[in-house]
Amino acid sequence: MPLLEVEDLAYSYNGIVAVRGVSFTVEQGEVVALLGANGAGKSTTVKMIAGALRPQSGHIRFDGEALEGRPSHVVVRRGITLVPEGRLVFPQMTVLENLQMGCIIQPSAQAEAALVRAWARFPRLAERRQQLAGALSGGEQQMLALARGLMSEPRLLILDEPSLGLAPQRVQELFQMIATVATTGVSILMVEQNVHQSLKIAQRGYVLEKGRTVKGGTGEELLADDFIRRAFLGR
């Protein structure tokens, strides 16, 4: 049984259809890339999974249990965390305080253990633990957003455009970090414009077009697919 099952999701904003039949699965411990042009419905889809939007039709099952329509705090407790587009760290709070916000629902002993793991995974953040998040570089803020998302010990981590606005060197570092996180058993669903980098680390990917799932396959299959190469890789 897949960890996450998304079936025929639909959502409209004031009568304008954004998603009209998105279906895909995420297996335990795998990285799945959700691809598509701007306006294809990717961010709307992950917001529905995370509980920020209520699907108007369709089904979301997590570990076999229905999840559609559940509020965000319930979704987080079930084991799903969304790292939203644009990082959205708290700029006037320190690195440490940002991380503590990520485990606010955890008992104190678990929160302390999560902090220890965060410092070990992200030594650059450990060095800056008392620095204001707003003073970090863009790459460091994205690192902090990723670390904060992991503080709740999710079974599924959703990343919405994690490389947006980063310099090429920082993009490479980011994808290495994501691949490392995946080796710990955390499932990852990633919305990402950098198709080449995301498919290099993804076991599988799905392409959305005009709010529908139009193609799926392994990362290698999609990288070699003529449609993907023409539409996203400029080849």
Among 21, 19, 23, which Cα is nearest to 47's?
19
Please say if the pLDDT value at position 193 is more than 90: no
pLDDT at residue 23, rounded to an integer: 96
pLDDT at residue 103, rounded to an integer: 78
pLDDT at residue 229, rounded to an integer: 82
pTM score, whole prediction:
0.90
Report the C-alpha gap between 71 and 147 in whole angstroms. Answer: 23
Please say if the pLDDT value at position 86 is more than 90: no
* CATH code of domain 4-88+154-232: 3.40.50.300
Report the C-alpha gap between 233 and 95 in whole angstroms. Answer: 36
Please say if the pLDDT value at position 67 is more than 80: yes
Domain ranges of the chain: 4-88+154-232
Report the C-alpha gap between 188 and 177 in whole angstroms. Answer: 12
| Lowest model confidence (mean pLDDT) among 15-19, 37-41, 60-64, 107-111 | 107-111
